[in-house]
Amino acid sequence: MRSLFLSLTMMIVGPVIYAQDSLAVDSIHQSQSIPALHSEDKTHQFTYKKLIVPATFITYGVASLGINSLKELNFSTRTEINEHQPDHIKLDNYSQFAPAALVYGLNALGVKGKHNFKQRTIIYGTSMLITSAIVVPLKHIAKEERPDQSNNLSFPSGHTAIAFASAQFMFREYKDTNFLLGISGYSFAVFTGIYRMLNDKHWFGDVVGGAGFGILSTELAYWLYPKINNLLGGKKEKSQTMLMPYYQKGNAGIGFVKNF
C-alpha cells in the first residue's frame, strides 16, 4: 500500500507544484520592467525553469527502465492495484482530450483564454505533433513489455502524454485569468494516467515519463507558435489557415488547410 500511495502522490502533487512554479516565474517576469517586451512575447518565452518538472518526470520514467529499485516499484504498484481487482474501463481513451475540449468549450461559452480559435488550434496541433514525434519512436526504441503482456510498446504512455499535453494547454490558456480553472485540467490527466495502470496497460514509470513528455510538448508548442504562425502567413489578413488535431486508432496527427 505504501508504494501505491507514493506513486499516486507523485502523480497528483507534481503537476500542482509545476503550476505554482510556473505562476511564480511568470510573476517575476511581469514585475521586471522591460519596455521592449510585450505580454504576447512573454507568453511564448521558453526558460530553463519550465523544463525542471517535465525533465524530472522524464528522467524518472527513463530510469525506471533500468534501475532495479524503480522496477520493483513498478511491480509492487501493479500488485497492489490488482489486489483490489479494479474494473477495466475505457474512459481513459476520452479523458486524455478532456482538458483541450474544455478550452474550446469554455471559449465558445464566452470564457476566453489567452488565444483565439486559430492561434490555440495551431498551438494545440503543434503540441500533438510533438507528442507523437516523441512517443511513437520511443515506444519502438524502448520495447518495454506492457503489464498485460499484449505487446512491447509500454514506454512511454501515449495516453498519459496526450492527457498532460492537453492539461498543460488548458493551464497555459487560463492561468493568468483563472488559476483554479487552469489547473483543473490536471485532474483529467492524472485520472488518465491512473486508469492506464488500472487497465493494466502501463507501469507507473511509463505514466510518469508520459506526463513529462506531454508537458514538455506543450511548452515547446507555445515557444514555437510565433515562428509557425509566421510560416503559415499569420500576418496576412486575407489568408486563412485551419489546423485540426486528430487521434484515431492510436495515431495522432494534424490536418492542414490553407486558403489564399
Q: pLDDT digit of tens for each residue in the chain (260 aa)?
A: 555 555 556 565 556 555 655 555 454 444 443 333 344 457 787 788 889 999 999 999 999 999 999 999 999 999 999 888 778 888 999 999 999 999 999 999 999 999 999 999 999 999 999 999 999 999 999 999 999 999 999 999 999 999 999 999 999 999 999 999 999 999 999 999 999 999 999 999 999 999 999 999 999 999 999 999 999 876 544 445 555 555 555 555 555 555 54
Res 41: pLDDT: 52
Q: CB-side exposure of 7: number of CA atoms within 13 Å? A: 29
User: Where are any strands of DSSP class E within the chain?
Assistant: 240-248, 251-259
Res 235: pLDDT: 55
The tally of domains found in the chain comes to: 1
| Distance (Å, whole) CA 158 – CA 39 | 33
Span between the terminal Cα atoms of the chain, in Å: 60
| Distance (Å, whole) CA 24 – CA 36 | 22
Residue written as grid cell 489564399: 260
Res 232: pLDDT: 84
C-beta neighbour count of 94 within 10 angstroms: 11
- CB 178, CB 23: distance < 8 Å: no
Q: Give me the domain span that covers residue 181.
A: 2-259
Residue 138's alpha-carbon distances to 18, 27, 133, in angstroms, are: 24, 35, 9
| Distance (Å, whole) CA 212 – CA 235 | 33
